[in-house]
Amino acid sequence: MNHLKLAGLALTLLLPLTAEAHRSWLLPTSTVIAKPGAWVSFDAAVSNDIFYTDHRPLPAGQFQVATPDGSAATLENISEGKLRTTFDLALNQEGTYRVFSASNGLTARWEENGQRKSWPPRGVTPTPEAFAKEVPKQADKLTITQSSRRVETFVTVGKPNTAVLKPTKVGLELVPITHPNDLVTGETARFSFLIDGKPAEGVKLEIVPDGQRYRDSQDMINAVTDKKGEVSIAWPKAGRYWLEASYEDDKAPKPATKRSGLYVATLEVLPQ
């Protein structure tokens, strides 16, 4: 039995933030629980098809949990396998839990002698010192990006609450107008997106329903946030959905010239 206690926001960037050919996600065994005392298990993986563990696991160390009353909680029985990472969470309170991975940092791309270079190198935890040392001050096609990445899901015990849904104001994040554990077919959900705490206009959403293996089309829902950073989603059927949102602009703190955000959530839509 592995216990891993996680505290605080990890500011390490874990994956390069180009358009990901593969999809990251967290998948809970349930999102609606009647009363405290239950357990929920999670799969964390990178895959092609939603929600099939057909590629590789997401490293376990990046995951944290926010509880309804803000107290600490432990992800238990952590196992990093060949295709997925799994862990369990004991739900001992009423309210909404948020399980997530969040990171924010600098990435850089440039060319040297026609060769494409990128930083940080894969698998290396970036530091500001390493950035100063390894990224040239001048280079061909040098682009430095302030990148944020968040992968998360939500579980509610009893009556939903919004304590864990308060914005962090860092990076690209979803601030629910409709509670994420209150999604049903026939009811349009409304979400808003913030980038570093401000409404994010033009966030591109790609939403793919579960069960991809057994159909010919992605059945993807595309949407874009409006001036207020808001977007409405109508669910064609009940089931789990993978939602990925991406954003980019040039309002970045120096030395970055670009700011980008990647956000992924797993949402469960129940039938009426």
Partner 1 sequence: MRKLFPVLLAAVAIQAQAADLNVTVEVPRLDVAEYHKPYVSTWIEREDGSVVTTLSVWYDTKMKNDEGQKWLKDMRQWWRKVGREGNAPLDAVSGATRGPGSYTLNFSAGKAPLGKLDAGNYKLVVEAAREVGGREVVSVPFQWPASKAGTLSASGKTELGSVSLELAP
Q: Rule CB under 8 A: which residues touch partner 1?
A: 32-35, 37-38, 94, 158-160, 182, 184, 270-272
Q: How far is the CB of 159 from partner 1 (least distance, A)?
A: 5
Q: What is the largest CA-CA distance in the chain?
A: 61
Closer residue to partner 1 (CB): 50 or 89: 89
DSSP assignment of 16-79, as one string? --SPPSSEEEEEES-SEESSSSEEEEEEEEEESSTT---SEEPPGGG-EEE-TTS----EEEEE
- The tokens for 97 are 């839990």
Q: What is the closest distance, in whole angstroms, from the C-beta atom of residue 182 to partner 1 in the complex? A: 7
Q: How do strand 258-269 and strand 140-157 relate by DSSP bridges?
A: parallel
Structure tokens at 246: 């991406």
Cis? peptide before 154, omega within 30° of 0 = no
CB of 184 to partner 1, least distance (A): 7
- 16/158 with CB nearer partner 1: 158
Which CB atom, from 124 or from 184, has the smaller least distance to partner 1? 184
CB of 31 to partner 1, least distance (A): 10
* Cβ nearer to partner 1, comparing 94 with 134: 94
Task: Find, among 266, 265, 268, 248, the residue nearest to 257 by Cα.
Answer: 248
Count the alpha carbons within 13 Å of 120 in the hemisphere toward its beta carbon. 20
Q: Assign 4 to helix, strand or coil.
A: strand
Q: How far is the CB of 26 from partner 1 (least distance, A)?
A: 21
* Least separation in angstroms between CB 268 and partner 1: 12
Nearer to partner 1, 184 or 234 (CB): 184
Q: Which of 37/128 has CB closer to partner 1?
A: 37
What is the total residue count of the chain? 272
